[in-house]
Amino acid sequence: MALTTLFVILLQSTIVIISTRGSPTSAATGSNFTSILIFGDSTVDTGNNNFIGTVFKANHLPYGQDFPGHIPTGRFSNGKLIPDFVASVLGIKQTVPPFLDPNLSNDELRTGVSFASAGSGYDENTTVVTGAIPVPKQLEHFKSYIANLGRIFGNNEAQNIIEKSLVIISAGTNDFGFNYYLLPMRKKQYNVGGFQDFLLKALQDLVQELYKQGCRKIVIAGLPPMGCVPVLITERLKPPFNRACLEDENTNVRSYNQKLMNLLPQLQATLPGAKIVKETEEWFVGVGFTETTKGCCGTGIVEASFLCNSGTPVCEEPSEFLFWDSIHPSETAYKALSDFLVNRILRQFTLK
């Protein structure tokens, strides 16, 4: 079955690139980026949740069964995530470590870390139940990271590292999935449009602060077609064999992503000298997966985190599944997204 309806943090979704540089170059050489910095949720959390008190952990098998060494690392997949693939192709490093790892070397700090946390979102209310690190707190960690760089390498070099970093932001899904649809805390306060605006204001504040701290190359992922996520389809209590995507949720996603696109000119106006490159075409039609409606772990319709564990049977060919568990993409899906990000999006960055 071709991948035509789903994932696509990057297919029906929006990628925004902010840069303040000047002449064309090839991102694939890796010479443009000396480090990588990651903010967001489980799609880009490389293990921070291992070090905090939350039930949202992936530090056990079968998570990581296809990661180098076949070890669980806290990544919510059978293998690597987008930050790992992108960092590798750009020649920065093979994998991106979590910021909270107490054993990070100076070289790992220099070449970048992930601040992301599974279960998090732009809204701090989203983490009340999950115990994850909300994006605003991730920003505080980032500021501590800059201070650490200054102590180790000197303030001038620290700023040079930040300016040459590729920043990736991937969040928002949990804000809707947990905080609006499943546990409707914000639903009592906002209609869908109002909550979209609330999240986009939080995103705008984040980008402006990252820019203020010296970040100049930022990639922002829009929302994926959430109505196609297996666990959300299951939560709707549809008949067992009706695994069709939830069109109302996907309509809300498209609306959010369009608002994000409309926000860009306003955002650019707050970033002197910045250039925003937009990419909205559908990228992955033709990429084939045998199974797109459920995950590889267990039944694939409810299992995730502690429900996907060493006692849970898994499919024989994870590469044929779009999803690894009932929420998160497989390594193969992440690899496809990463290839597009490097080959089509990052090439649009420019240098003097």
Least Cα distance to 241 among 316, 289, 294, 298 occurs for: 294
Assess whether 325 carries a catalytic annotation: yes
Secondary structure class of 296 (helix, strand, coil): coil
Separation CA 29–CA 301 (nearest Å):
40
Separation CA 337–CA 82 (nearest Å):
7
Assess whether 60 carries a catalytic annotation: no
CB atoms within 10 A of CB 191: 9
Q: What is the DSSP string of 75-119?
A: -SSSS--HHHHHHHHTTS-SS--BTT-TT--HHHHHH--B---TT
Q: Which of 123, 175, 326, 328 is catalytic?
A: 328
Assess whether 141 carries a catalytic annotation: no
Q: Which of 41, 114, 325, 330 is catalytic?
A: 325
Q: Which of 13, 19, 35, 42 is catalytic?
A: 42
Q: What is the largest CA-CA distance in the chain?
A: 60
> Burial letters for 259-295: b for 16+ Cβ neighbours within 10 Å, e otherwise?
bbeebbeebeeebeebebbebeeebbeebebebbbbb
Helix (H) or strand (E) holding 351: strand 350-351
Q: At what angle do helices 82-89 and 331-340 cross, to 10 degrees?
A: 50
Separation CA 85–CA 96 (nearest Å):
9
Active site (catalytic) residues: 42, 325, 328
